[in-house]
Amino acid sequence: MKQLLRLRGAAALPVGESAEAQRGRLKLNLRLKIGLTILAFFAIASFTLPFFTDVDPAQQGTYLKNLPISWKHPLGTNTQGQSIFWYLVFAVRNSLALGITVAICISFISTMVGLSAGYIGGWYERLVMLLIDSVITIPVLPILIILSALVRGKTSFFLVGLIIVCFGWAWGARTVRSLALSLREREFVNMARFSGANTFQIITREIFPYVYAYMVVNFINTILFAINTEAALAVLGLSKVEVPTLGSILFWALNYNALFIGQRTWVIAPIVASVLLFLGLFLTSTGYNDLFAARRGRA
């Protein structure tokens, strides 16, 4: 991988590239590498480890309460008698799964809607903007609270995700549309149009790459938005708190006032996990960002 990139880079850059540029390329490989490593670690660990235990981590009273860190309990046990380590593993898995699914849905919907609205314009744009504005202006939190009151306990965990999607796509769509509006008037777009490219080709080949940078960043944000919204809902008690997620660990830890009673592992473990997870996602996305920038040639 490294060789390939170096070759490509060598072909693109003039001879005698600055040390800085070289350093920059190494740094981006490293950034991407670290990010992908972290993500891979989390994904593999959280999706395969569950097969090694047949104890349901959400069951209470499986072990003695409040045990300290030991070989048997890598992160100790909490006040409900659960193993913090195993709970965390399942939590990361569920949160990741939810976050990725929701982010994919949201990104797809908002990009397509925003791009098409921004570029096509006319009646289509007006209708779409009406829809987007209606969804945006209705405040998320009270509606979420109301909807969760309807949904909570009655249906599956992924419906919580669906609700998040319903409210998450509008903002992104609006922003993408603004970007598309700006881009629409650029010279290269006109050129493409005069060259005979149809609308779809213009959207995907010309406009999309410019929007891509922002969209990738938005994608991580959305994953985190999804995970954090689910966590916020869980802290408020509005999600399915019996399903292990990063949010529900925090819900139970806060419910039992873990920081005060000295059960710090219970709170710190999920936070460290979240931070590392975000780090992984972030490094990956900015790594790719830099990679694409290098391909396009940098200033």
Partner 1 sequence: MTKAFRLPRVLFLLLTMLSIVACSVPPTTPQGQTPTEAPAQSGATEPTAAPAAADPAAAPAASGDGALTDVGTPRSETLIFQTFDRQTANPDLHNPLMGTYAVWRGFRELAWGYLWEMDTGTGQSYPELAADMPEVLNDEYTRFRVKLRPGIYWSDGVEFTADDVIFTLDTYFENKDKLTYWGVATITNYVKSYEKIDDYTFEVETVNPAYDFVTVLGVYTWGSALNIVPKHIFEKEADVAAFRNTNPVTLGPYVVKEFDPNGFWQLWERREDWERSAWGSQGEPKPKYVLYKDFGPEETRTLAFVENQYDVDTFMSPESIKAAVAQNSAISPYSPTMPYHDMNDACSYGVLMNQHRPPLDKAEVRWALALALDLQDVGINALSGEFKASPLPMVDTQILNPIYFAPLQGWLNDFALSDGYKPFNPNFGAELVGKLTEMGLPADQMPQGDEAIKNAFGVGWWKYDPAEAEKLLGSVGITKNADGIYTLPDGSVWELEFVIPGDWNKVMQRVGFSIADSWRKAGIQVNARQVDNAEFGTVQNTNSQLTTLLNWTNCIFSPNYLNAWRSIQPEFLLPVDSPDTITGNMYRWSNEKVFDLVKASYSMETTSPEFYEYGREIIKEFVTDMAYINLMNIPTTIPTNSTYWRNFPKADNPYAVPYSWWSSAKKILQNIEPTGAK
Partner 2 sequence: MGLLQYIGQRLLTYVAVLFIGISITFFLPRLMPNDPIDGYIAQIQSRAGQTLTPEAAAEIRATLTELYGLEGSLFTQYLNYLRRVVFGFDFGPSFSAFPRPVSELIMLALPWTLGLLLTTTVISWLLGNLIGLLAGYYHNRRFATALEVLGVLIYPIPYYILALTLILLLAYTWKLFPLSTTIRPAPLSLAQIGSILYNSALPALTLVIAGFGWNILSMKSLSVATKEEPFVTFARLKGTSDRTRMFSYVFRNALLPQVTALALSLGTIFNGALLTEMLFSYPGLGLLMRTAVGNGDYNMLYGTITMTIFAVATAALVIDLIYPLFDPRIRYR
Q: How far is the CB of 205 from partner 1 (least distance, A)?
A: 34
| Residue 79 binds which entry of partner 1, partner 2, none, CB below 5-8 Å type-dependent | partner 1
Closer to partner 2 by CB, 40 or 259: give it: 259
* 239 three-state secondary structure: coil
Binding site for partner 1 (CB under 8 A): 23, 26-27, 30-31, 34, 58-61, 64-66, 68, 79-81, 149, 152-154, 236-237, 241-242, 254-257, 259-262, 264, 268, 272, 275, 279
- Interaction partner, residue 104 (partner 1, partner 2, none; CB < 5-8 Å by kind): none
For 228, phi and psi rounded to 5 degrees? -70, -35
Q: Pick from 183, 295, 186, 281: which is nearest to 227 by CA?
A: 281
- Toward partner 1, which CB reaches closer, 68 or 196? 68
Query: What residue type is assigned to position 192 of the chain?
Result: A
Q: How far apart are CA 248 and CA 87, in angstroms?
A: 10
Strand-pairing partners, residue 83, are 77
Give the separation between CA 92 and CA 33, rounded to whole angstroms: 21
Closest CB to partner 1 among 32 and 102?
32
Q: From the list partner 2, partner 1, none, which binds 120 (C-beta under 5 to 8 Å, kind-based)?
A: none
Site for partner 2 in 154-183 (CB under 8 A): 171, 174-175, 178-179, 181-182
Q: What token pair was written down for 29?
A: 């490989």
How far apart CA 154 and CA 240 sit, in angstroms, is 10
- Could you tell me which of 143, 46, 137, 48 has the C-alpha nearest to residue 100? 46
Asked if residue 92 lies in contact with residue 246, where contact means CB atoms within 8 angstroms, the answer is yes
Contacting residues toward partner 2, per CB under 8 A: 20, 23-24, 121-122, 125-126, 129-130, 133-134, 136-143, 145-147, 149-150, 171, 174-175, 178-179, 181-182, 185-186, 213-214, 217, 221, 224, 228, 231-232, 235-236, 247, 250, 254, 259, 267, 271, 274-275, 277-279, 282, 286, 289, 293, 296, 298-299
